């Protein structure tokens, strides 16, 4: 079992992320070009055995007052059985596309009042690590997004996005929410 937060850039960005079972049991492996697309005229083909799903473990977090919410926010994960797998690699072997699936719930706590909110972050997600240093998330289900103070793309806060979202993460680990369907403002729920 390995411990990580959905993609290396996510630890600083604060994305919590997702997962129910992915639809395909045999994901083809492509080799993207430097531009991030597959070579012209290439056809997706399986290269070797189907990549294995690996468990992902989420550690509790504690955000000081003013960083995410106006109060100190604590987050823990009472239910977590998320798995990931690298389904497409770059020519150098680094991940280009990583898929996530499985149940995940987050318990958000206002440290000052003890008020709690239980959020369902379960579902599936796909993460692309682009050659520009940006990462792109496509999440048809649920995802938790932590936006820290000073983010130029979105107001700070803790949000649960449900029903479909697309999120870009900059090389400096700042989140830009490009598409969202339903949003729960966790800081407002706990105020």
Question: Distance from CA of residue 144 to its chain's centroid?
Answer: 8
Residue 137 has φ and ψ, to the nearest 5°, of -105, 135
Please measure the distance between the N-terminal and C-terminal CA atoms of the chain and give it in whole angstroms.
36
Q: Tell me the pTM.
A: 0.73
Please answer whether residues 98 and 85 qualify as being in contact, where contact means their C-beta atoms are separated by less than 8 angstroms. yes
Q: Measuring CA to CA, which residue among 74, 148, 145, 146 is closest to residue 111?
A: 74
Q: What is the CA radius of gyration of the chain?
A: 17
Q: Which residues are CB-neighbours of 188 under 8 A, at least 6 positions away?
A: none
Please answer whether residues 170 and 10 qualify as being in contact, where contact means their C-beta atoms are separated by less than 8 angstroms. no
Query: Other CB atoms closer than 10 Å to residue 115's CB: what's the count?
Result: 13
Per-residue tens of pLDDT for the chain, all 191 residues = 333 333 333 333 334 433 333 333 333 333 333 333 444 333 223 355 778 999 999 999 999 999 999 999 999 999 999 999 999 998 888 999 999 999 999 999 999 999 999 999 999 999 999 999 999 999 999 999 999 999 998 999 999 999 999 999 999 989 999 999 999 999 999 99
């Amino acid at each position: 079992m390995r411990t990580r937060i959905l993609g290396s850039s996510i630890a600083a960005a604060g994305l919590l992320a997702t997962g129910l079972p992915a639809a395909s049991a045999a994901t083809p492996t492509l080799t993207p070009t430097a531009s991030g697309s597959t070579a012209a005229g290439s056809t997706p083909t399986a290269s070797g055995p189907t990549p294995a799903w690996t468990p992902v473990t989420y550690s509790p977090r504690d955000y000081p007052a003013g960083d995410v919410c106006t109060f100190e926010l604590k987050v823990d994960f009472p239910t977590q059985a998320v798995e990931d797998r690298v389904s497409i690699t770059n020519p150098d072997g680094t991940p280009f596309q990583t898929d996530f699936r499985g149940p995940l719930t987050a318990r958000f706590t206002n440290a000052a009042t003890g008020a709690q909110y239980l959020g369902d972050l379960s579902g599936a997600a796909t993460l692309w690590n682009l050659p520009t240093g940006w990462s792109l998330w496509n999440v048809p289900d649920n995802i938790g997004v932590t936006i820290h103070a000073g983010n130029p793309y979105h107001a700070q806060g803790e949000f649960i996005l449900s029903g479909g979202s697309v999120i870009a993460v900059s090389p400096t680990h700042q989140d830009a929410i490009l598409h969202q369907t339903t949003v729960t403002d966790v800081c407002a729920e706990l105020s």
